[in-house]
Structure 1
Amino acid sequence: MENGIFICCFFRISDVQTMKINQTILKEFILVGFSLYPYLQTFLFVVFFCLYLLTLSGNLAIIGLTWVDRCLHTPMYLFLSALSFSETCYTLTIIPKMLTDLLAKKRIISLIGCGLQMCFFLGLGGTNCAILTLMGYDRFLAICNPLRYPLFMTHMACRKLVASAWIAGFFVSVIETALIFRGSFCSPNLVKHFFCHMRAVVKLSCLDSELTEFIVTVISVSGLMGTFLLIILTYVFILSTVLRIPSAEGKQKAFSTCASHLTVVFIHFGFASIVYLKPETSGGDDTLIAVPYTVITPFLSPLIFSLRNKDMKNAFRKVLGKTVSLNNLGLLLHD
C-alpha cells in the first residue's frame, strides 16, 4: 500500500515538473516570417524596400504640402495629412523590422518589444479606420449640410476629432494587448508571422488561447465593421443628396471629391477583413495574406489621394516651381 502511494506521488511530482518544463516562461520570440521562402528573401527585401521608400515619400509629401500650401488648410486636407502621418507611423512599426529580418539569420524579438509592436500596430490600424470614418463624415457635412459645414468643421473641431481618433485607436489596442500578454507564454517560442500579429502570438499563451483569441477577434472585428458601416451610412446620405442635384456638372464634382476616399476605404477595409475574418490557415498563408494590409495598402493610399486630387497636384507644382526658381536664383548669385 505504501509503495503504491509512493509511486502515485512520484508520478504526480513528475507530471508537475513536466508541466513546468512545457510552460517555460519565455522572454523572447523567434519570428518565422518569410523563412518558409528562403529563395525569395532577397527579392522580397528589394521589393518591400522600394515600396517602403515610395510609401514614406508619398505620405511625407502629403504632410509637407498640406503644411506649406495655405490653400490646403481645410478640414479635408487636415484629415488627409493626419491619415498620412498615422500611416507613416504604422509602416515604421512593421516594415523596418521585417526588412532587417529578411537579411538576418536570427529573427528574434523580445517579449517587451513584441508587446509594443503589437500595441502600436493595433492602435495605429484602429486610428487609420477612425480617421477614414472622420473623412467620410467631413464629406457628408460638406455635401449634405453645406451651410452648417463651416460652423461644425472648424480647425479646433478637426484637431479634437483627430485626437479622439488616436485615443480611441490606442484605447482598444491597449485592451487587446493586455488581454494577450496578461499571462506567460509556453514553448516553442516560434511566432509564425513576420511581426507580432495577435493571432500568431496568442497561440503561444499558457492560458486558454482559444478564449483569448475569440475575445480579441470580436473586439477587432467589431471596431472594423463598426467604422466601415458608419462610412457606408454617410455615403448613403451623400448619394441621396447628390442624386437630387439638377446639373450633371454638380453631380460629377460631388462624386469626384468622394472617389479617392471611397477607393481607399474599400482597399483598406477589404484587406483588413481578409486578415481578421478568414478561417484558420497555416502560418505561411497568414504571412502572405498580411502583406497587402501592412505593405500594399499604405503604399496605395497616398498614391490614390495624390493622383486624383487637383488641389494636391497644383500645390506640388507650386512647390516645385518655387524650388526651381530658388535654384536658378542661387546659380545667378553664384555666377
Structure 2
Amino acid sequence: LVIISGATEACLLAVMAYDRFQAVCHPLLYTVAMNRKVCTGLVGASWAIGIGTGLVDTIFLAQQHFCGPNLVHSFACEAPPVLLLACSDPYISIASIFTTMMVLGLGNFVLLLGSYTRIITTALGINSATGRNKIFSTCSSHILVVTIFYGSGIFRYMTPASGSALEHVLSVQYSVVTPLLNPLIYSLKNQEVKAALRRMLARKPRLTF
C-alpha cells in the first residue's frame, strides 16, 4: 500500500502539471484537451502504474528469506527497512526498487520539467504583471507539494537504509505529513478559506471562570 500510494501520487503530480500546462498555454482549448474522458484516462493510468509498481516490488520482496528478528524500524512497512531484516541477498529487491524509482522519478520529472518550462516561458512572454502573478499563483501550491513530496521521497529511498532517527522522521513526513498538508496547501488559494483562517487566527480566546 505504501509503494502503491507513493507511486500513484508521483504520477498524479505529473498529470496535474500537465493540466496546468494546458490551462496556461492553451486556455481556449483547455476544455477540449482536458475533457472528462482524458482526465479519467490519466487518473486511471496513474493508478495502474502505481499498482503495477507496488506488485512488482512486493513480489521481489516476498522472495527474500527472513530468519531473524521481525521488528521493522520504521513507522510504515516500507521496503528499505524490511530489507534490513532479510537473511538472503537483497540484490534483486534493491535493483527492483532502484529501477522503479529511476523510471518513475525520471519519467515524471521530465513531464514536470517540460510542463513548467512551457508555463514559465508563457508567463515571461506576458506583458501584464497581473497576468504573470495569476499564473504563478495558480501553480504555486502544486510546486510546493511537488517539492515536499519529491524532496522527502528522494532522501528516503535514494539513501542506504540504516534505521536512524532521521529515516523515521522522513518516513513520517513522506507517508503521513505530506498527504495531510495537501488539502491545506491547495485550499489556501480559496479566498473564503483564507478569510476563515484569518478570522480564526484573529479570534482572541476568552477565559471563563
**TM bin (shorter chain):** 0.7 to 0.9
Which range is displaced more, 181-190 or 254-263? 181-190
Are residue 179 (structure 1) and residue 60 (structure 2) matched?
yes
Runs of 4+ in 1 over 4 A off after TM superposition: none
Q: Whole-Å Cα distance in 2 between the matches of residues 183 and 276 of structure 1?
A: 19
- In the alignment of these two chains, the number of paired residues is 195
Task: State the SS of the aligned residue for 2:181.
Answer: helix
Matching residue within 81, 87, 90 for 1:200: 81
Task: Identify the residue that residue 112 of structure 2 maps to in structure 1.
Answer: 231
Which one has a bigger Cα radius of gyration? 1
Task: State the SS of the aligned residue for 2:69.
Answer: coil
Q: Is the 8 A contact 2:64 2:90 kept in 1?
A: no
The alpha carbon displacement at 1:284 in A equals 3.8
Q: Whole-Å Cα distance in 2 between the matches of residues 142 and 303 of structure 1?
A: 22
Task: Identify the residue that residue 281 of structure 1 maps to in structure 2.
Answer: 162
1:134 is matched by which residue type in structure 2? V
The alpha carbon displacement at 1:256 in A equals 1.1
- Call closer, same or farther: CA 1:122–1:280 in 2, change over 3 Å: closer
Task: State the SS of the aligned residue for 1:191.
Answer: coil
Matching residue within 122, 128, 145 for 2:9: 128
Are residue 139 (structure 1) and residue 20 (structure 2) matched?
yes
Unaligned regions of 5+ residues in structure 2, if any? 197-209
Matching residue within 290, 293, 300 for 2:174: 293
The alpha carbon displacement at 1:277 in A equals 1.6
Identity over the aligned pairs, expressed in percent? Answer: 35
C-alpha root-mean-square deviation of aligned residues, in Å? 2.0
Task: State the SS of the aligned residue for 1:256.
Answer: helix
Q: Is the 8 A contact 2:74 2:168 kept in 1?
A: yes
The alpha carbon displacement at 1:196 in A equals 1.2
Q: Whole-Å Cα distance in 2 between the matches of residues 233 and 181 of structure 1?
A: 37
Are residue 245 (structure 1) and residue 126 (structure 2) matched?
yes
Task: State the SS of the aligned residue for 2:28.
Answer: coil
The alpha carbon displacement at 1:309 in A equals 3.0
The alpha carbon displacement at 1:189 in A equals 1.9
1:258 is matched by which residue type in structure 2? C
TM-score by length of 1: 0.54
1:293-332 to 2 correspondences below 5 Å: 293-310=174-191, 313=193
Task: Identify the residue that residue 200 of structure 2 maps to in structure 1.
Answer: none
Q: Whole-Å Cα distance in 2 between the matches of residues 281 and 203 of structure 1?
A: 8
Matching residue within 160, 168, 174 for 2:49: 168
The alpha carbon displacement at 1:283 in A equals 4.3
